[in-house]
Amino acid sequence: MYKVNIDNKVIETDGSLSLDELVKNNFSNLRPIAARVDGILMDMSEIINKDSSIEIISSSDKEGIEIIRHTCAHVFGHAIKQLYPDTKMVIGPVIDNGFYYDIYSKESISEKDLSSIEALMKKLAKKNYKITREVVTKKKAQDVFKKRNEDYKLKLIDEIPSNEIIAIYHHEEYIDMCRGPHLTSTRELNYFKLMKVSGSYWKGDSKNVQLQRIYGTAWDTKDNLKAYLRKLEEAEKRDHRKIGQKLDLFHFQEESPGMVFWHDSGWKIFNIVKDFITSYLRNYDYKIINTPQILDKTLWKKSGHLDKFSDLIFDVSSEHKEYAIKPMSCPGHIQVYNQGLKSYKDLPIKFAEFGVVHRNEPSGTLHGLMRIRAFTQDDAHIFCTPNQIEDEIKILIKTIYEIYKQFGFEDIKVELSTRPEKRVGSEEIWDKSENALKKALDSSEIEWQLNEGDGAFYGPKIDFSLKDSLERVWQLGTIQLDFSMPERLNASYIDKNGDKLAPVMIHRAILGSLERFVGILIEEYAGDLPLWLAPVHAVVINISENQEEHCLKLLKKLNNLGIVSTIDMRNEKINYKIRDHSIKRVPYLLVVGDKEVESNQVSIRTRTGEDLGVMDVDKFVKMVETLLDSKSNALNK
């Protein structure tokens, strides 16, 4: 007999019962969908034949929802194979808020087809059929999927190490392959929806055949599904591409895919953000530099970027030489550092650049300002000694939090990513780098998580992600420690003993892509940017032509005082002009009639429709100056 501890209740079993049977026989109030047995997640169909400690996983747990979503991806596969029998299944992983499945089909599946696929999924789920897990040998897995002509599953099986367990899941006549765990039936699959279709490539390589990717979402309750769909509706309203067009901020066109055409108002927002970061750079003793857009490929080969990012690099040639348009600024910054002999007394040296970089992202991944091919990084590199690492990184962590807070973001997630499979540098260097970052994080007294294997190819990194008002997570800032590239590119300094050493290089970005960050701001505030970020602070509106001269003088005064203003003297009704500028999200609308001219006052309305009444011009100026100086978010509260 074996002793099993479930929810602090010890149960004896002879080793013939499954988890599901053990729970049903002993807990009438529990309805688990999986369990963690001695720390390992398992299906409820697993037989327990040893002494075990068991933690129940319910549908509302994070792991439970992921299992629901993963199983839902299999039910999608079940449905798609019934509707499109010649489809070849590729992979169907869980992602944030849902799942996707990559498929290969000669038939093009559009978003119009999703409703019929979803209807069949619901029909299959309502059958409450049993889902059976079978552990098989590699040979049997190959036989199963060869018989079904599943070419991509066979490729995946070929990559599985011989010592790894292979499990297949039976969904009536449909069979899929997965580590699991999964639901033991479709009973818990009640609240799901297919969302959209996009393109993808096998292994993410654009040289491979194009696949179709179908996204879906699945939840544990009807209310949670509805809440998520409402959130998506709100996100649709806030789509920066729509707002950008509506407010005349920017546009894209086919002649330059993935590259933004900034209009006047959008470029003002971009430069407000850039100037704000510039002031931070000056305060922390950065030297702001600029490096060439095109560098000889031999330099990118030495730095390691050519081998790692060859598919993303734009190539150019001239006079029988091969060049690359820079995908990042690091090698250029080392070239600046290498000009002149450096002493340990000179360190740390901090170089910053608003570097315009180009990356040949697949066309199917491009998405407005959020994913583009040419963008501006707030890139910087700190050259320091090993003893200076912790202090410099602590300063960076502190300022990153401060800057995000100034833009209105305070929910920050921090991850430490460690050595990836493909990397440069010795194990000793990686040990030293990872320990240095862990020490800096711990001494900064912030919460952080470990993200194993996701570091940069030249060193470990700390990534900063922020959560917006719709609870979407955006990865922005990064701090990357690099002991390798300075040595590869011959950077050095003389230490106090007169020895020549390679400096440590800290790569850091706070906002990442400025273009992307502007897109995030537009969506976060739905176009109603805080006053200090708004491209225009106020518009002066006359009621009749009698006030034109006065309005022009007022406009000049406001602009001279740093309150960016425009004027509207169109021969239109005042209510029309007020409505028009409210739609354009101008923070303050200053209405001037005969009474206002006589008293040197303005009638003030906000873009939200609030009537602030009549105010002296000087009082209005002082109010706006205070809001701008403090970078207050008051207008949006």
pLDDT tens column, 457-497: 878 999 999 988 888 899 999 999 988 889 989 999 999 99
Task: Enumerate the CATH 3.30.980.10 domain ranges in the chain, comma separated.
Answer: 62-231
pLDDT of residue 507: 94
Contact (Cβ atoms closer than 8 angstroms) between residue 554 and residue 540: yes
Backbone angles phi, psi at 223, to 5 degrees: -65, -40
* 531-636 has CATH 3.40.50.800 classification: yes
Q: 114-118, 360-364, 502-506 — which is least confidently predicted?
A: 360-364
DSSP per-residue string spanning 118-155: HHHHHHHHHTT-BEEEEEE-HHHHHHHHHHTT-HHHHH
**Is the pLDDT score of 308 beyond 80?**
no
Backbone angles phi, psi at 318, to 5 degrees: -155, 130
pLDDT of residue 470: 84
CA distances from 321 to 37, 298, 302 (A): 60, 10, 16
As a 3-state breakdown, the chain gives helix, strand, coil percent values, each rounded to 5, of 40, 30, 30
Give per-residue pLDDT as tens, 135-173.
Answer: 999 999 999 999 999 999 999 999 998 888 899 999 999
Closest CA to 478 of 520, 417, 427, 431: 417
pLDDT of residue 636: 64
The dihedral formed by the CA atoms of 340, 381, 286 and 326, expressed in degrees to the nearest 10? 90
Six-digit token pair at 159? 């990559």
**Is the pLDDT score of 554 beyond 90?**
yes
222 confidence band (pLDDT: 50, 70, 90)? very high
**Is the pLDDT score of 424 beyond 80?**
no
Six-digit token pair at 131? 């889902």
pLDDT of residue 365: 81
**Is the pLDDT score of 634 beyond 80?**
no
pLDDT of residue 184: 93
Residue whose entry in the numeric block shows the structure tokens 């992983």: 93
Euclidean distance between CA atoms 613 and 589, whole angstroms: 11
Rounded to a whole number, what is the distance in angstroms from the first to the last CA of the chain?
A: 64
pTM to 2 decimals? Answer: 0.82
Task: Enumerate the CATH 3.40.50.800 domain ranges in the chain, comma separated.
Answer: 531-636
Euclidean distance between CA atoms 520 and 526, whole angstroms: 10
Sign of the torsion angle spanned by Cα atoms 523, 525, 531, 532 = negative
Residue % of the chain over a pLDDT of 90? 73
* 62-231 has CATH 3.30.980.10 classification: yes
Six-digit token pair at 531? 């006053």
Rounded to an integer, the average pLDDT of 446-462 is 89
> 171-203: b or e for each residue (b if 16 or more CB lie within 10 Å)?
beebbbbbebbbbbbbbbbbbbbbbebeebbbe
- Active-site positions read 330, 359, 377, 379, 381, 461, 507
Cβ neighbour number for residue 366 with a 10 Å cutoff: 15
pLDDT of residue 306: 81
Whole-number mean pLDDT of the chain?
92
Strands 261-262 and 611-616: unpaired
Euclidean distance between CA atoms 216 and 230, whole angstroms: 15
Rounded to an integer, the average pLDDT of 271-299 is 94
Contact (Cβ atoms closer than 8 angstroms) between residue 559 and residue 565: yes
637 confidence band (pLDDT: 50, 70, 90)? low
Report the topology of domain 2-57: Ubiquitin-like (UB roll) (3.10.20)
pLDDT of residue 623: 94
Give per-residue pLDDT as tens, 225-246.
Answer: 999 999 999 999 999 999 999 9
pLDDT of residue 31: 83
pLDDT of residue 87: 96
Closest CA to 54 of 32, 25, 70, 29: 32
Task: Enumerate the CATH 3.10.20.30 domain ranges in the chain, comma separated.
Answer: 2-57
Q: Which CATH number fits domain 250-290+327-524: 3.30.930.10, 1.10.600.10, 3.40.190.10, 3.40.640.10?
A: 3.30.930.10
Euclidean distance between CA atoms 85 and 190, whole angstroms: 25
